[in-house]
């Protein structure tokens, strides 16, 4: 009787407007999981700091000469490091969903009187909150190593907003990965071939003009480069800012519009 009644109760809760509360509850559950697993906390906080320091002091001297006159590598670098961090952090969405599926937790959630959408929305919302704190931490570290804002506080806030919106879009991309594979290890292995060309063949760390001509078209127009260029123009004040921002928003909206419905459909089949 419980198995039969559970879907009906879930539907009743959704009609009463509890879907949002269910999503928040699932998001809180995922955030607590980060606290209880030290390795996730290290990946979310310490690793980004290491990337900032390493790129700033190890590669900065070599790349400085390829930048336009008047630009410093730390100011060029920080928007790229932000985006690189949230791109690699986005795979935790897929890994987490794959882990829940393999352990049978999704089936347990299904038996509860809760909205089915809460599992996916809660997961992506939790990763958004985690990325928010990671970006704030990296801003602090960036200022410590010499990062300066060439525009104003509104430019900085705009850059952070675009970066966080992009992180939310990527969560839906890797939600599809997590719902497709069988376990967390496979999700992580499948995600890297997607991440590598996006992060390293981009404008995140070096100017696109220094790349081979056959690679520049991809590097200049792929989503990571577009978002990095938008954040960079908002903080440095160089380049057609409005054009970069519009392109970044188009990519963000497009990714969510395509990947979110597919993830919902995969989730329904998975459960």
Q: For 178-219, how does the pLDDT look when each residue is reduced to its tens digit (9 = 90+)?
A: 888 878 888 888 888 888 889 989 988 888 988 999 999 999
Q: What is d(CA 170, CA 219) in angstroms, rounded to the nearest whole number?
A: 18
| Average confidence (pLDDT) over 24-40 | 73
Q: What is d(CA 79, CA 71) in angstroms, rounded to the nearest whole number?
A: 14
Q: Is 2 a member of any domain?
A: no
Q: Is 4 a member of any domain?
A: no
Domain of residue 141, residue span: 19-205+212-268
Q: Is 236 a member of any domain?
A: yes
Q: Is 8 a member of any domain?
A: no
Residue 61 or residue 177, greater confidence: 177
As for how many domains the chain has, the answer is 1
Q: Is 13 a member of any domain?
A: no
Q: Is 1 a member of any domain?
A: no
pLDDT tens readout for residues 77-114: 899 999 998 888 888 888 888 887 877 777 777 667 77
Please report, rounded to a whole number, the percentage of residues in the chain having pLDDT higher than 70: 85
Q: What is d(CA 231, CA 226) in angstroms, rounded to the nearest whole number?
A: 9
Q: Is 7 a member of any domain?
A: no
Q: What is d(CA 73, CA 66) in angstroms, rounded to the nearest whole number?
A: 9
**Model-level pTM?**
0.85
């Amino acid at each position: 009787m419980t198995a039969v009644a559970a879907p009906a109760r879930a539907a009743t809760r959704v009609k009463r407007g509890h879907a949002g509360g269910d999503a928040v509850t699932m998001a809180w559950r995922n955030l607590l999981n980060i606290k209880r697993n030290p390795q996730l906390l290290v990946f979310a906080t310490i690793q980004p700091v290491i990337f900032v320091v390493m790129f700033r002091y190890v590669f900065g001297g070599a790349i400085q000469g390829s930048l336009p006159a008047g630009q410093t590598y730390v100011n060029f670098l920080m928007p790229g490091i932000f985006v690189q961090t949230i791109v690699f952090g986005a795979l935790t969405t897929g890994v987490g969903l794959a882990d829940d599926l393999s352990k049978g937790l999704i089936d347990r959630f299904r038996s509860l009187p809760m909205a089915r959408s809460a599992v996916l929305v809660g997961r992506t919302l939790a990763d958004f909150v985690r990325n928010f704190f990671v970006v704030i931490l990296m801003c602090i570290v960036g200022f410590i190593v010499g990062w300066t804002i060439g525009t104003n506080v509104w430019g900085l806030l705009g850059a952070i907003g675009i970066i966080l919106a992009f992180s939310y879009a990527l969560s839906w991309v890797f939600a599809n990965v997590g719902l497709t594979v069988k376990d967390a290890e496979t999700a992580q292995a499948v995600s890297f071939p997607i991440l590598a060309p996006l992060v390293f063949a981009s404008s995140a760390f070096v100017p696109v003009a220094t790349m081979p001509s056959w690679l520049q078209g991809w590097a200049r127009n792929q989503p990571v480069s577009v978002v990095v260029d938008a954040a960079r123009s908002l903080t440095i004040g160089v380049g057609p800012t409005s054009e970069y921002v519009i392109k970044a928003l188009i990519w963000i909206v497009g990714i969510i519009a395509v990947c979110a419905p597919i993830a919902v459909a995969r989730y329904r089949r998975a459960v």
